[in-house]
Structure 1
Amino acid sequence: MVVTVVFAYVGTMLWTARISLSNSHSLPVDDFIGGEQYARLFHNARWLLSLQNMIVIGVCFIAGCLVIGTLLAIFIDQRVTAEGVLRTIFLYPYAMSFVATGLVWQWILNPELGIQHVLHRLGFTHAHFDWIVQQDMVIYTVVIATVWQASGLVMALMLAGLRGIDDEIWKAARVDGIPRWRVYASIVIPMLGPSITTAFVLLFVMIVKLYDAVVAMTQGGPGTASEVPAKFIMDYLFNRANIGLASAASIVLLVTVLAILAPFFYARSRASLRKAV
């Protein structure tokens, strides 16, 4: 495992960083041009658009998954009938690949085949739901598909946290006559901090490497309206034969992930040390 980590992960990251400082195109070359690839990258309008899209999708995706996943977990935590079946149904989309999710939602949102077509067949001829072909709305179709897929994961994490809440808290709340929603808002949700943090990290990593769903749903279109960084990297790596620029973009994404995850792991290590003391 040590050899695998050193050579397969650390080694490839260092190699990518080295290539990002070269003028490599179809094949890697051993020259050195400093940060020129990074300067070209951040003067590339397509790259800047992909970053903007990643931020919009990321904020909507993470917020949607956390809200829906938490509500689903609270619902199942009421010891509802057929709890096991409901858990499976809600978690099942997460077992699907993003490619399958993208294709399914492409059909559902297709104006000629999906929701809009059904509404027209029902007599609502003036109804429009053609976001997937609108440049200013297409990224929200990606949000809908990805939230549908990942909310079940958040539900599972939150439900595990809810099942760890001491029953004495609920007994004390009932004795004091505190409304159930107030207990969740003021006591239970704050106690789910570790579960929320874990869910946030997993969702953030999913957004940074988002590629399959976008390619399956929109191919980055219309035009480049739904372009994301991972698709930019793959296009420049394979289609445009610009390894240097693709490597620079990869390193930027790596630094972004580390900038988010480093404080998280630092806080966890500090908390572990405090507990040990």
Structure 2
Amino acid sequence: MDFVEVRVQAPRELADILVAELSEVGFDTFEDNDEGFCAYTTEDVFNPDDVAEIMSRYQGTDVIEYDHRVITRQNWNAEWEKNFQPLIIADKVSVRAPFHPKPDGVDYDIVIMPRMSFGTGHHETTALMIENQLTVDHQGKRVLDMGCGTGILAIMAGMLGAREILAVDVEPWTVENARDNVQDNGFPEAECRLGGVEVLTGEAPFDIILANINRNVLLEDMHAYAALLPAGCPIIFSGFYEEDLSKIQEEAKKQGLAYQSNRTKNNWVSAIFTKL
């Protein structure tokens, strides 16, 4: 199945509102740019009438331009390779494609080929998650990566010494991609599983949970994550804006998760909580 990209030009304060609106009609991945943002969903979920109706509500208040296109699986690699540049996170982690040379002076070198998946580290949420991971002891730990995308956070967990990794995503091609990437980075024992929170039923507890998804999914599924986390163990969230942090904290408190700290970049947040 192919992706639909909706490219929106709008001022920042309105862009944040539109992201929230689009997330209610099936869009679950967003990438900021200098003119506004891009929103992504699958072709079967996309309804142009829903998008038009949302945009029409705000046409009278600000100048909004938007259009959409289908990104086929066949075209995704070429599109990504054309635009992708190697990345260094926190002066310690290199994220690059197989066709880029390995840089000098980094502690960890992650090689990613995303195919149709998202999560190259260029989006603020992924980079913030990795920065937070670097502060958490992964050695010998069992780690869950929910909404794994390319598998980049699962790979980071492996490089930080995790003994067991489960990566989960709802898209079949994403799971295939993550499986290839974790293997190519030297972690073939990491399991990549198709599904959502329902596939965690019966799982043993995890020592660390990574959940870089979006605000709505985090709020809806947080109870399931908390149930799989022993006391004293961390969970790292991202995929939401600074103004949503209070909502995440409120739900986390209900689920017995104590707020520890957060990092922000361009209004995106990654926050660490600990199970009480």
Q: What range is the shorter-chain TM-score in?
A: under 0.3
Larger radius of gyration: 1
Larger RCO of the pair (alpha carbons < 8 Å, separation 6+): 1
Instruction: Determine which structure has the larger helix proportion and give its number.
Output: 1
Instruction: Determine which structure has the larger strand proportion and give its number.
Output: 2
When the two structures are superposed, what TM-score results if normalisation uses the length of structure 1?
0.23
When the two structures are superposed, what TM-score results if normalisation uses the length of structure 2?
0.23
